[in-house]
Amino acid sequence: PLRRQQVHPSGAVLGVPSAPEPSRPPSTADVTRAYIDEHPSIRDALQEDIVNFAFLARKIQTERGLRNEEAIEIALRRYQQEVRRQTPDTERVLQVLRDSRLEVHNRVALVRIKEDWQVLDRLYQIGRGLLPELKRRGVFQIYQGTRALTILCEDDLLSVLLEAIPPKNVLDVERGL
């Protein structure tokens, strides 16, 4: 059914249903970029400029059913320029590691307890009492969460710690970490 057309002062035609725009298929460049993004090792090779473009273009052409190998190769070269401008992920990871301090401990335990100020005071007393020994060899750290305290300590300090905490306050104990 035809509708009566009205023209808005801006020139737009009102009252006419708009036809949906036909979706265009992805371009060769779009398909090529998607392929590279799905294969991080190829992306790294592009970044390092160690790619046989003709071979890779044929591979993408075969796997993705594209027609024009030359267009794929051009898309690869253009995408390489874009990739080389970006900071590589490995460089960002290495920078994070350079800026980090890492400690590794074994034979430790985690104790989660209900937050209670009396228990927290006992934990501080235990920590102060163990301080000379901890400086020499150990781990004793208290983390305060929103609803619980988490204590990271040496496995062999666990018995001293659990004696000071009422059993009703202990939520979880993990040993041998």
Q: What is the pLDDT of residue 113?
A: 92
- The highest-confidence range among 15-19, 61-65, 121-125, by mean pLDDT, is 61-65
The count of other CB atoms within 10 Å of the CB of residue 56 is 20
Of 6-20, 97-111, 127-141, which gets the smallest average pLDDT?
Answer: 6-20
How far is Cα 82 from Cα 126, in angstroms, rounded to an integer? 58
Cβ proximity of 64 and 35 under 8 Å = yes
Nearest-CA neighbor of 173 among 157, 129, 139?
Answer: 157
Q: What is the DSSP string of 17-73?
A: PPPPPPPPPPPHHHHHHHHHHH-HHHHHHHHHT---HHHHHHHHHHHHT-S-HHHHH
Q: What is the pLDDT of residue 86?
A: 80
The domain ranges of the chain are 28-96, 108-174
Q: What is the pLDDT of residue 135?
A: 64
Q: What is the pLDDT of residue 18?
A: 53
What would the CATH number be for the domain defined by 108-174?
A: 3.30.70
Between residues 65 and 5, the one the model is more confident about: 65
Q: Is the pLDDT of residue 137 over 80?
A: no
Q: Residue 140: which region, alpha, beta or left (left: phi > 0; alpha: psi -120 to 50)? A: beta
What does the pLDDT look like over 44-83, one tens digit per residue?
899 899 999 999 999 999 999 999 999 999 999 999 999 8
The per-residue pLDDT of the chain, averaged, comes to: 84
Q: What is the pLDDT of residue 89?
A: 73
Burial of 85 (0-12, 13-18, 19+ CB in 10 A): exposed
- The highest-confidence range among 85-94, 102-111, 131-140, by mean pLDDT, is 102-111
Residue 70: half-sphere exposure toward Cβ, Cα within 13 Å: 0
- The highest-confidence range among 8-22, 26-40, 75-89, 156-170, by mean pLDDT, is 26-40
Q: Is the pLDDT of residue 120 over 60?
A: yes
Burial of 153 (0-12, 13-18, 19+ CB in 10 A): buried
